[in-house]
Amino acid sequence: MQPPPLSKDCAAAVIARFLKARGVDRVFGLCGGHIMPIWMSLDAEGIAIVDVRDERAAVYMAHAYGELSGRPGIALVTAGPGLTNAITGIANAHVARAPVFILSGATPRPQVNRGALQDLGHTGMLRDITRLARTVRSAAQVPQALDEAMATAYGEAGGEPGPVFLDFPTDVLRDEVPRAVQLGEHRRPRLAADIPAEPGAVERAVALIRQAQRPLVIGGRGARAAPTELLAFLEATGALFLDTGECKGVVAEEHPSMVTAMRGAVMGDVDLVITVGRKLDFQLGYGSPAVFGSARWIRIADNAAELRDNRRGEVELFATPRQALRALVEAGCGQGGAVDRAWQTRLRATHVERSSKLQASMASAAQGADGYMHPNRLLHEVQRAIGNDPILVADGGDFLSFARVGMRCRAYLDPGALGCIGVGTAFGIGAALASPGSTVAVLTGDGSFGFNAMEIDTAARHGVPLLVVVANNGAWQIEVHDQTNTHGKVVGTRLQRADHAAMARAFGAHGERVEDVSDLPAALQRALTAMRAGRPALLDVLVSGEPMSSDAKSGLAWVPDLQPLAAWDEAERRWRAGSTD
């Protein structure tokens, strides 16, 4: 039996019209019976559907697309395993505070709890990793539920932004939504929340900034939306700047405030820290006095989670970051300042020296004893080919650490604080679709690439021009020692150095394997030519497994923006115990 045709006022059609009115131009998803009414309605409204090979990748793509396009990032997944497959992507968006909107279907209401196909309680699984998770059981509630979910995803009224989830029983999707509740106010295009800074708080912050001799700004998610205001603030105050994975590329490496190569030294030597939309998580030592000494704090954020976590600010500016930074400059935060120019000059000069040495060492990095090229040499050649203004996605364990430190870009994405390796190709597809005309490069280790390698097929089918560079060292061995073996035998094996380029070619992408560094420049140019023709390109580059990044040497690979956390933990233990040592 064929289901009855969808009416123009059914819930699925109302969902599609809502998304179109809110500026949605594409949805990422994988088809399934429970969501077919939405799928068909999206197509009828002219909203593009990027069909993927795994639901987790759909959420990753929506995440990257939303972050870089300014449009809502929408993932559409079916019930049961469709939703459970998506959970890792949803958890990653939750930790990253990315406003992703996930839609799903559910078992028809008369069949709930009767053993129906894919009958799971989705919302119970998602409440801890979403800002809102709800099953909409009445067609009349659909417009209001969509409006509320979108507002919640963007953190309107001061809530933390992040993923939201709505699912709809399949019979609800076919039910009529009464015309009386299809109000224009629910479809009205969203205006970005703009929270002004409270004048009294601005005045107190200006006083602190004028007193500071060694001020430091740490950028986060909030800095991405305020590049002009951030640069004006740095120029006015003379503060130094540390970027993080959440805002890499917003401030250029050449900017006189940038001291990222001096991260550990500057954090331990400041007297004022100003955070811009950045949580004080493990990547920043939780803001502990064991790391930042007796520094005073100004916190700037448009939500409480980025304003008051771990360390309270002496001044807390609850405002849209661009509004707060603009207000501080207009209030004269740079007038009569006490910045220690010798301190500023010394740190900046050492940063430049270290950065220059790193770039020189990358260009001349010798191959390993195993005969394969150094990962840094690979990155040097990639940077030379794509320039300093690409959109970069870094993924993997040690290779991510090399890329995070050594590469330059104007926008950057990586697994973030969840350490969710495997995002690379899917993030790259979302980024490339969000930024047509831009060079998008995915830099990934071979182990991480394997998580979502099949999405090369998605890129090829949809003609997404991105560059995927796989650093193939086969190093996926976890050393587990057999306790019954007196010789401490290592249990486990290495990955094969599989031919990922052959797989890419099988899907219709441009693919090449590169084994010698002398062949790499020409291979990169061929890959870029393929991208200009609208094809994805993958280079499978054999690299040495011997080099270790600074993160790996400290036992902290797979995690961005690292410092030696074990040392911090010990320092904090002594501090809490009252030791002055």
Q: How far apart are CA 548 and CA 227, in angstroms?
A: 34
Percent helix, percent strand, percent coil in the chain, to nearest 5: 45, 15, 40
What six digits make up the tokens of 193? 């929340």
Percent of the chain with pLDDT over 70: 90
- For β-strands 480-481 and 490-491, DSSP reports them as antiparallel
Percent of the chain with pLDDT over 90: 77
User: Does 170 lie in the same domain as 36?
Assistant: yes
Tell me the one-letter amino acid at 409: C
7: helix, coil or strand?
A: coil
Chain mean pLDDT for the chain: 90
Q: State the SS3 of 449-489.
A: HHHHCCHHHHHHHCCCCCEEEEEECCCCCCCEECCCCCCCC
Q: How far apart are CA 479 and CA 57, in angstroms?
A: 29
What six digits make up the tokens of 154? 């963007």
Domain end point (choices 187, 222, 251): 187
Cβ neighbours of residue 7 closer than 8 Å, sequence gap 6 or more: 13, 176
The pLDDT value given to residue 320: 95
Q: Integer distance in angstroms from the first to the last C-alpha of the chain? A: 78
Higher pLDDT, 112 or 87: 87
User: Does 174 lie in the same domain as 44?
Assistant: yes
User: Does 376 lie in the same domain as 336?
Assistant: no
**Would residue 4 count as lying in a domain?**
no
The pLDDT value given to residue 476: 62
The pLDDT value given to residue 555: 46
The pLDDT value given to residue 542: 96
CATH of the domain at 211: 3.40.50.1220
Residue 325 has pLDDT above 90, yes or no: yes
The pLDDT value given to residue 135: 96
The pLDDT value given to residue 197: 96
**Would residue 566 count as lying in a domain?**
no
pLDDT interval class at 157 (50, 70, 90): low
User: Does 258 lie in the same domain as 208?
Assistant: yes
User: Does 211 lie in the same domain as 178?
Assistant: no
User: Does 401 lie in the same domain as 308?
Assistant: no
What would the mean pLDDT of 294-322 be, rounded to a whole number?
95
The pLDDT value given to residue 481: 47
Q: How far apart are CA 499 and CA 488, in angstroms?
A: 32
Q: State the SS3 of 158-190.
A: HCCCCCEEEEEEHHHHHCECCHHHCCHHHHCCC
Annotated catalytic residues are 479
Residue 350 has pLDDT above 90, yes or no: yes
Tell me the one-letter amino acid at 220: G
Longest alpha-carbon distance in the chain? 80
The pLDDT value given to residue 115: 79
Look-up: residue for tokens 């009294």?
200
- Say if residues 269 and 245 touch (Cβ distance below 8 Å): no
The DSSP output letter for 28 is E
User: Does 145 lie in the same domain as 265?
Assistant: no
User: Does 278 lie in the same domain as 160?
Assistant: no
Domain end point (choices 145, 164, 187): 187
**Would residue 431 count as lying in a domain?**
yes
Domain end point (choices 148, 166, 187): 187
Q: How far apart are CA 182 and CA 207, in angstroms?
A: 51
The DSSP output letter for 222 is H
The pLDDT value given to residue 337: 81
Residue 561 has pLDDT above 60, yes or no: no
pLDDT interval class at 4 (50, 70, 90): confident
Residue 436 has pLDDT above 60, yes or no: yes
What six digits make up the tokens of 558? 């797979």
Cβ neighbours of residue 162 closer than 8 Å, sequence gap 6 or more: 93, 94, 97, 98, 99, 100, 130, 131, 153, 155
Q: State the SS3 of 78-102.
A: CCCHHHHHHHHHHHHHHHHCCCEEE
Q: What is the pLDDT of residues 130-150, one digit of tens each?
A: 999 999 999 999 999 999 999
Cβ neighbours of residue 339 closer than 8 Å, sequence gap 6 or more: 212, 213, 214, 215, 237, 238, 239
- Cα dihedral: 126, 131, 136, 139 (round 10): -150
What six digits make up the tokens of 79? 């019930």
Helices (H), 22-141: 36-44, 55-69, 81-96, 122-126
- Say if residues 132 and 149 touch (Cβ distance below 8 Å): yes
What would the mean pLDDT of 330-351 be, rounded to a whole number?
92
Higher pLDDT, 578 or 464: 464
Q: What is the pLDDT of residues 264-281, one digit of tens each?
A: 899 999 999 999 999 999
User: Does 343 lie in the same domain as 311?
Assistant: yes
**Would residue 69 count as lying in a domain?**
yes
- Cα dihedral: 85, 424, 93, 277 (round 10): 170
Q: What is the pLDDT of residues 486-534, one digit of tens each?
A: 455 555 556 788 899 999 999 999 999 999 999 999 999 999 999 999 9
Higher pLDDT, 551 or 500: 500
Helices (H), 331-423: 341-364, 375-386, 398-406
**Would residue 567 count as lying in a domain?**
no
pLDDT interval class at 548 (50, 70, 90): confident
What six digits make up the tokens of 482? 């057999």
Residue 574 has pLDDT above 80, yes or no: no
What six digits make up the tokens of 128? 């801890």
**Would residue 581 count as lying in a domain?**
no
Lowest mean pLDDT among 94-98, 254-258, 567-571: 567-571
CATH of the domain at 66: 3.40.50.970
Q: How far apart are CA 263 and CA 259, in angstroms?
A: 7
User: Does 330 lie in the same domain as 288?
Assistant: yes
Q: What is the pLDDT of residues 362-399, one digit of tens each?
A: 999 999 888 999 999 999 999 999 999 999 999 998 88
What would the mean pLDDT of 161-189 be, rounded to a whole number?
93
Helices (H), 407-445: 424-434
> Phi and psi (nearest 5°) for 104?
-145, 170
User: Residue 436, exposed/middle/buried by CB under 10 A (0-12, 13-18, 19+)?
Assistant: exposed
The pLDDT value given to residue 480: 46
**Would residue 370 count as lying in a domain?**
yes
The pLDDT value given to residue 558: 36
Q: How far apart are CA 87 and CA 89, in angstroms?
A: 5
User: Does 313 lie in the same domain as 214?
Assistant: yes
What would the mean pLDDT of 277-297 be, rounded to a whole number?
94
The pLDDT value given to residue 578: 59
- Total domain count, the chain: 3
Q: How far apart are CA 208 and CA 558, in angstroms?
A: 37
Q: What is the pTM of this model?
A: 0.91
pLDDT interval class at 339 (50, 70, 90): very high
Q: What is the pLDDT of residues 23-76, one digit of tens each?
A: 999 999 999 989 999 999 999 999 999 999 999 999 999 999 999 999 999 999
The pLDDT value given to residue 479: 47
Q: How big is the chain by its Cα radius of gyration, in Å?
A: 25
- Say if residues 26 and 67 touch (Cβ distance below 8 Å): no
The pLDDT value given to residue 159: 84
User: Does 260 lie in the same domain as 296?
Assistant: yes
Higher pLDDT, 325 or 493: 325
Residue 431 has pLDDT above 50, yes or no: yes
**Would residue 427 count as lying in a domain?**
yes
Residues of the domain holding 235: 199-349
Higher pLDDT, 59 or 579: 59
The pLDDT value given to residue 493: 59
